[in-house]
Amino acid sequence: MKTDLSKKSITTDICVSVWVTQTFEVPSDYQIKGATSKEAYENLIAEYGEQNVDAIQEPFELDFDDAMSISFEAVGEEFIQRYNGTKRFDVKCFKCNN
């Protein structure tokens, strides 16, 4: 395939937030323990972690088929321009200390 020298590619990073549902089967007399939602989650993982991936320690192991919602958070501050057929590239940085 011939490289189109009249074009270039632009790459940047984006950040998204994903909400995933996890369900824990616990005894009927189980009491939620913790002063914060994070502490309560950590306690569930400590006691019933075999049921779910620890999203705090292993977020890349989550099953995104259970995603409730995905929302846009931000665009990275760098845009990298690569010129086809060359090793030349330029970086456009917004808010960088250049």
What is the pLDDT averaged over residues 17-37?
91
Q: How many helices (H) and strands (E) does the chain have?
A: 1, 3
Domain contains 62: yes
Is pLDDT above 70 for 56? Answer: yes
Domains identified in the chain, total number: 1
Buried-exposed string 40-63: b where 16+ CB fall within 10 A, e elsewhere:
ebbebbeeeeeebbbeeeeeeebe
Domain contains 44: yes
Domain contains 96: no
Q: What percent of the chain has pLDDT over 70?
A: 97
Domain contains 52: yes
CA nearest neighbour of 67 among 22, 19, 23: 19
Position 62 scores a pLDDT of 81
Position 43 scores a pLDDT of 95
DSSP letter at 42 equals H
Domain contains 84: no
Domain contains 92: no
User: What is the tens place of the pLDDT at every residue in 60-98?
Assistant: 888 777 778 888 888 888 888 898 888 898 998 888 765
Domain contains 57: yes
Mean predicted lDDT score pLDDT of the chain: 87
Q: Where are the beta strands (DSSP E) in the chain?
A: 8-20, 67-83, 89-93
Q: Which amino acid is at 14?
A: I
Domain residue limits at 40: 15-75
Position 60 scores a pLDDT of 82
CA nearest neighbour of 34 among 23, 45, 20: 45
pTM summary value: 0.63
Domain contains 47: yes
